Amino acid sequence: MEKNTKKEVYSWIKSILFAAIIVFVCRYFIFVPSVVVGQSMMPNLQDGNRIIVSKLSKIERFDEIVFHAPDADEDYVKRVIGLPGDKVEMKNDELYINGKKYDEPYLKQYKSALPPMQKLTGDFSLQDPPTNAKVVPKGYLFVLGDNRKISKDSRIFGFVPMKSVVGKVKIRFWPLNEINVFK
């Protein structure tokens, strides 16, 4: 009987170690939890929202990403607007990428609440400081917060190096009444 107990204990230890290894691999190499800090991504992501970030997902235009802030010892959540090689500019509150006008449906709530003739986003181009470039350089992204009036984003700190990207926001899991899976 003692031999069976040892086998059972050994089996449990193996199972627990295997589960711990799986959790470790997932946590450090595949998915990472994060917390939204601040109001720069409102109304889509709120201060205090808990999110899951995928480290393996391909980053595409208009994805919400988490990255290591270039100007602070924290992570930021912003929306990817410009990819390497893109020419980005804002004219009369309209986004243009490579000369093509893009609709920004995630800003609809903010724009509809503005008084007539007021802009959500001031005019800019990549040639303005701090980016001072014609296009987004290779290995970098141009990001903006959805709450454009208060967001500290690429208009302030410049391009975001791809190597500083933690990953793509995939799931909001807190608060429970706002659970959402992102594309």
Which pLDDT tens digit goes with each residue over 131-168?
A: 888 999 999 999 999 999 899 999 999 999 999 999 99
At a CB cut-off of 8 Å and minimum separation 6, what does 103 contact? none
How far is residue 92 from each of residues 77, 78, 89, 133, measured CA to CA in Å?
Answer: 25, 22, 10, 21
pLDDT, position 176: 83
Instruction: Give residue for tokens 């899976």.
Output: 181
Fold entry, domain 2-175: Umud Fragment, subunit A (2.10.109)
Biggest alpha carbon distance in the chain?
83
User: What whole-number distance in Å separates Cα of residue 24 and Cα of residue 47?
Assistant: 27
- The catalytic residue positions are 40, 78
User: What would the two tokens of residue 1 be?
Assistant: 């009987």
The pTM (predicted TM-score) of the whole model is: 0.83
What does the pLDDT look like over 53-99, one tens digit per residue? 999 889 999 999 999 998 778 999 999 999 999 999 999 989 999 99
Per-domain residue ranges for the chain?
2-175
Question: Whose CA is closest to 180, among 83, 51, 54, 63?
Answer: 51
Is residue 26 very low, low, confident or very high in pLDDT (cuts 50, 70, 90)? low
User: What whole-number distance in Å separates Cα of residue 57 and Cα of residue 175?
Assistant: 24
